[in-house]
Structure 1
Amino acid sequence: MRTALNDLLGIEAPLVGFNRSPGVVAEVSRAGGLGVLAATAYTPAELDAQLTWIERQVQGRPYGVDLLVPGKKAAGDPRDLVASLRAQIPDEHVRFVEGLLERYDIPPASRPPTSNGELAVNLDPSGVPALLDVVFAHPIALVANALGTPPPTLVDRGHAAGVVVASLVGKPEHAVRQLDAGVDLLVAQGTEAGGHTGTIATMILTPEIVDIAGDVPVLAAGGIASGRQMAAALALGAAGVWCGSVWLSTHEDITPLSVKRKFLAATSSDTLRSPLRTGKPARQLRSAWHDEWERPGSPAPLPMPLQPMLIGEAWERIDEAADRGHPGATALESFFIGQVVGAFAELRPAAEVAGRIIDDCARRLRELGTLGG
């Protein structure tokens, strides 16, 4: 399989694997695709350490980094960004979260909570340069913005460094704005995907974006976890695929085992798009957490980044308690996941998952070639 993506990124197979776990990123690149690290949750020092580790594992193979720089979010005072954002969180919301944890008997965390201030900084344009300084100090092949049009600093620095700049889109109008911004690669992400998505299905969205993009390569994303689905994306005109959810069924992925157990038991109907984790609609596994917020009288979710700042400590407590088998925490437990969760049967090594997708896609393309007579 050779497409425009192979030549653009110097990879053997047109498969991009997106994940927050360095181990997954390394295995996808080692398998011949392009591993892409979700970087927004890391401090600059942490990101530098993770990228250094990945480079040792891939030994010269290409890899990439994904940032989250939303175009619309709650604004704070740049002189004291975190404090000014925290001051915007209503007491009503704080009491609601505290009451929810009490109703489900969620115990306190065994260690001090992680500050969500770093996430707020990383989601703000003022915090992007520090991450970009780290990113471009490493020999990355691709930098992507996963939410909204990438800021000019990201595009300009990418092009100056000879790095491919990619951006995810959920509507045709998004693609037009991204192309005007100068991106080199579009990712058409359908509503089936995990995380932040729009409402248009991958089967519809991909050819729409391909037609708009012209000579700019397009990747299909959303609902792609097998070779057959990858082959379908190529048939729609995509130059490759961007896969995210499938890696949550791998051993290398750092998602808590308590969440992975729920993934293995879930069906493709057990997800929903909701702003309850980030403040923007993101597909995730439905749980009692969503039921509680949807009850009459519950407060509306806050905009990004106020919502993740509000609930960050709560989720640390839930994850820790669920990992110990706590019933209430297990009922609340959830994470971002696409509709392909219904296909999860067991946990496997990331290298095996990547190899199977690539090999099965090649096999299916050969089979389709025989149908032409």
Structure 2
Amino acid sequence: MRTALTELLGVEHPIVGFNRSPAVVAAVTNAGGFGVLAASAYSPAELDAQLSWISEQVDGKPYGVDLLVPSKFVAGDPDSLVASLRAQIPSSHLAFVQSLLDKYDIPVSPSVVDHSEVAAAITPNGAPALLDVAFKHPIALIANALGTPPPSLVSRAKEAGVVVASLVGKAQHAERQIAAGVDVLVAQGTEAGGHTGTIATMVLTPEIVDIAGDRPVLAAGGIADGRQMAAALALGAAGVWCGSVWLSSEEDIAVQAIKDKFLAATSADTVRSPTRTGKPARQLRTAWHDEWEAPGSPQPLPLPLQLMLVEEAWQHIDAAAQAGHEGALKLESFFVGQVVGSFSDVRPAGEITRRMAEDCQRRIAELGGLIAPA
């Protein structure tokens, strides 16, 4: 296929595969798509290692990285950033999270890793470290997941010949991104997993296309097969940005317990909730969300405080769920879009990429047959 996106990035299929697993990123790129590493869960050292691994696997083929650089931050002391952030977490919130672990009898996992450095990276003082790492590697695209990218990111990317992409949830967002010098706009509808807005992809995509000028627009949210990809192209998109579909891939690093829940879920089983990160993010609805929404429960904290508050608890929940713990399985959740209802099996990411591209071309050809001869 040939679109503005394939021309810009030098790929065969206008499919962007967004995932936190380096193996998924490499598989999508090697199958002719464009893999993008979701890097918000990595420390600078971890990101360096993962990008090095991807580069080795793709043998010069293009890939990108997505960083969580929000437009609004919780300020921190540059000399003791983690400590200053932790000091802002109310004791009542700490007690509430502990009460959930106690209520569901969640055992303490011996393999808990302190991810405070990751949360601290989502601040003015921490974010530059991740940018420094990203630009050390041969990335072809850098995406900003939240808000308008800072001028320093855009200027560094331009100097390095790296495409800048940004996710938008409404037309006003796109106007700010265009003014900031973004090269590619990702119109992410509310159906998408993770941080997202309230406007549906079918409505949002043509709105963004109409104001994007000559910038390629990617459609995101509710796209997991060739039919949906063909619809996105018909709306004027130059390609698709897919995230949730890779959660059903063999290479995804999600624990088997959550993959099983995904396979059993319907498209009605997700919720936009700030209870994981501090910003509304679509995820599989479970008892975790019921508890936070119950009368008397505290309000979620802003990003990154909520992330720091619940991260260790989620490591305990994930480990216990993987072991089949009944209480943990009730709480277990992860970020996923409404297309979760279409998950029926687990397949290699490369096969998912190729099937989507082939099915899209077939659907487009079939649509051509609907036009009556003159």
- Other structure's SS at 2:79 match: helix
Q: Distance in 2 between matches of 1:7 and 1:212?
A: 21
Deviation of the 1:75 alpha carbon: 2.1
Kept in 2: contact 1:282–1:336 (CA 8 A): yes
Q: Distance in 1 between matches of 2:35 and 2:270?
A: 25
- Other structure's SS at 2:128 match: helix
Kept in 2: contact 1:41–1:122 (CA 8 A): no
- Other structure's SS at 1:108 match: coil
1:208 maps to what in 2? 207
User: Does 1:26 find its partner at 2:7?
Assistant: no
1:329 maps to what in 2? 328
1:11 maps to what in 2? 11
Q: Distance in 2 between matches of 1:47 and 1:120?
A: 14
1:197 maps to what in 2? 196
Deviation of the 1:183 alpha carbon: 0.4
Q: Distance in 2 between matches of 1:79 and 1:134?
A: 20
Kept in 2: contact 1:69–1:123 (CA 8 A): yes
User: Does 1:269 find its partner at 2:258?
Assistant: no
Q: Which amino acid aligns with 1:44?
A: P
2:304 maps to what in 1? 305
Superposition map of 1:150-299 within 5 A: 150-299=149-298
Q: Deviations over 1:55-104 (max 9, x none)?
A: 11111111000000011232222232111111111111011111110010
Superposition map of 1:14-163 within 5 A: 14-111=14-111, 113-163=112-162
Instruction: List gaps (5 residues or longer) in structure 1.
Output: none
Q: Distance in 2 between matches of 1:192 and 1:125?
A: 30
Q: Distance in 2 between matches of 1:93 and 1:128?
A: 26
Kept in 1: contact 2:120–2:304 (CA 8 A): no
Kept in 2: contact 1:319–1:333 (CA 8 A): yes
Q: Distance in 2 between matches of 1:41 and 1:259?
A: 18
Kept in 1: contact 2:106–2:328 (CA 8 A): yes
Deviation of the 1:121 alpha carbon: 2.3
Q: Distance in 1 between matches of 2:123 and 2:10?
A: 32
Q: Deviations over 1:111-146 (max 9, x none)?
A: 2x3223212222112222221222111111100001
Q: Distance in 1 between matches of 2:299 and 2:74?
A: 15
Deviation of the 1:53 alpha carbon: 1.1
Fraction of identical pairs, as percent:
71
Kept in 1: contact 2:75–2:124 (CA 8 A): no
Deviation of the 1:370 alpha carbon: 1.6
Kept in 2: contact 1:116–1:308 (CA 8 A): no
Equivalences, count: 372
Normalising by structure 1, report the TM-score: 0.98
- Other structure's SS at 1:125 match: coil
2:340 maps to what in 1? 341
- Other structure's SS at 1:341 match: helix
Q: Distance in 2 between matches of 1:138 and 1:76?
A: 28
Q: Deviations over 1:320-369 (max 9, x none)?
A: 00000000000000000000000000111111111110110011111111
Q: Distance in 2 between matches of 1:320 and 1:220?
A: 34
Kept in 2: contact 1:263–1:341 (CA 8 A): yes
Q: Distance in 2 between matches of 1:88 and 1:42?
A: 22
Q: Distance in 2 between matches of 1:43 and 1:199?
A: 30
Q: Distance in 1 between matches of 2:189 and 2:182?
A: 19
Kept in 2: contact 1:191–1:222 (CA 8 A): yes
- Other structure's SS at 1:289 match: helix
- Other structure's SS at 1:147 match: coil
Runs of 4+ in 1 over 3 A off after TM superposition: none
Kept in 2: contact 1:171–1:205 (CA 8 A): yes
Q: Deviations over 1:20-58 (max 9, x none)?
A: 000000010011110000112212221111111111111
RMSD: 0.9
Q: Which amino acid aligns with 2:102?
A: E
Q: Deviations over 1:132-174 (max 9, x none)?
A: 2221111111000011111111111100000000000001000
- Other structure's SS at 1:262 match: helix
Kept in 1: contact 2:40–2:66 (CA 8 A): yes
Instruction: List gaps (5 residues or longer) in structure 2.
Output: none
Kept in 1: contact 2:193–2:337 (CA 8 A): yes
Q: Distance in 2 between matches of 1:332 and 1:244?
A: 22
Q: Which amino acid aligns with 1:159?
A: K
